[in-house]
Chains A and B, each alone.
Chain A
Amino acid sequence: MLFWFLTVMALGSALMVVFSKNPVHSILWLIVTFFSISGHYVLLNAQFLAIVNIIVYAGAIMVLFLFVVMMMNLNDISSPLKNKWLKFAGVISGCSLLLVLIAALKDTGTMQQEVLLNTGKIGLINNLGTVLFKDYVLPFEISSVLFLSAMVGAVVIGKK
C-alpha cells in the first residue's frame, strides 16, 4: 500500500519536473521525487541510504541548483521558440525506449523473486560501515581525491 503511494508520488513529481515551465518549480518537484525515493529506501530498510539521499541530494545538491537558478534570475528570460515537432519526437523516442525495456524485461527469470521489505540488517550503518572501511577503503580514499579535484575545478572554472 505504502509502496503504491510512494510510486505514484515519485512518478507524478518526476513528470512535473519535466513538464513544469518555471525552473524553480521543477527543482521543488525534484525534491519531492527525492523524498519519495528516500521513502522507498526506508521501505527496503536501507536506512543509511535514505538519510544520505535526503542530506546529499535534497539538502546539498538541490540547494546548489536553487542558488544557481536564483542567481541567474531566469524568469526574465523569455523562453525561445521551441520546435513542436522536436518535442514530440523526444517524447515518442522516450516512450519507445520505455516500451522496449519493459518488453525485454517482462519475461526474464528473476522477475518473480521477492524483495525483502521492512527487515534485514544489511542496510544499517553498522554493516555498511564495516564493509566500507574493510573492503572498499581504497575507493573511499580515491573518492576523497575526486572531491578535492572537483572542488579545485569548480573554483578554477568559476574564477575566470
Chain B
Amino acid sequence: MTINHYIFLSVALFCIGIIGVLTRRNVIIIFMCIELMFNAVNLLLVAFSKMHYLAASVIDPATTAGTDGQLFVFFIMVVAAAEVSVGLAIIVMMYRNTHSIDASFLNRLKH
C-alpha cells in the first residue's frame, strides 16, 4: 500500500466528521463527529510513522524511526479521553438547565 491510500482515507473520514458537525444539531452527535476527526488524524499519524520506518530501515535495519508518531497517537487518545469526560459533564449540565441538547438552543447566548 502506498501512503496516498491512507491520506485519502483519512481525508475522507475527516470530511465526514466536518459534515456531521455542520449538519447535525444534536450536541452529542457533534461531539461524536469530533471523535471521528480525532481518529482520522490518528490513522494518518500511524501510516506516516510506518512510512518513515520503512524508509529508515532500508539504511539501518535496527532503527526505531517513526516511534514518535505512534506515541503522539497515544497522547492524542489520552487528551481525547479527558476531553470527553469534561465535555459530557458540560452536556449533562446543559440538559439539566434547558431540557434540550439542541445546539441551536444555545443561540440565545448572543442576545
Contact = CB atoms under 8 A, between A and B. Distances in A.
A97 B86 contact: no
A123 B53 CA distance: 10
Nearest to A110: B3
A101 B37 CA distance: 15
A18 B33 contact: yes
Contacts of A122: 49-50, 53, 64-67, 70
A127 to B, nearest CB: 6
A26 B86 contact: no
Given A23-B28, A80-B102, A122-B53, A154 B74 contact: no
Contact of B8 (A79, A102, A110): A102
Interface of A is mostly: helix
B71 A132 contact: yes
Nearest to B21: A90
B77 A151 contact: no
A131 B33 CA distance: 31
Interface string B79-90: 111111110111
Contacts of A116: 50-51, 53-54, 57
Contacts of B73: 49
A123 B70 contact: yes
Interface of B is mostly: helix
Interface in B28-54: 28-29, 31-33, 35-36, 39, 42-43, 46-47, 49-51, 53-54
A111 B28 contact: no
Contact of A44 (B12, B32, B50, B77): B50
A111 B7 contact: yes
Given A111-B3, A131-B71, A46 B46 contact: yes
17 contacts: A17-B33, A18-B16, A18-B20, A44-B46, A53-B42, A57-B77, A61-B81, A74-B28, A77-B100, A93-B18, A101-B15, A112-B3, A115-B2, A116-B57, A150-B82, A150-B86, A153-B86
Interface of A: 3, 7, 10-11, 14-15, 17-18, 23, 26-27, 30, 33-34, 37, 40-41, 44-46, 48-49, 52-53, 56-57, 60-61, 64-65, 68-69, 71-72, 74, 77, 79-80, 82, 86-87, 89-91, 93-95, 97-98, 101-102, 105, 110-117, 120, 122-123, 127-128, 131-132, 136, 139, 143, 146-147, 149-151, 153-155, 157-158, 160
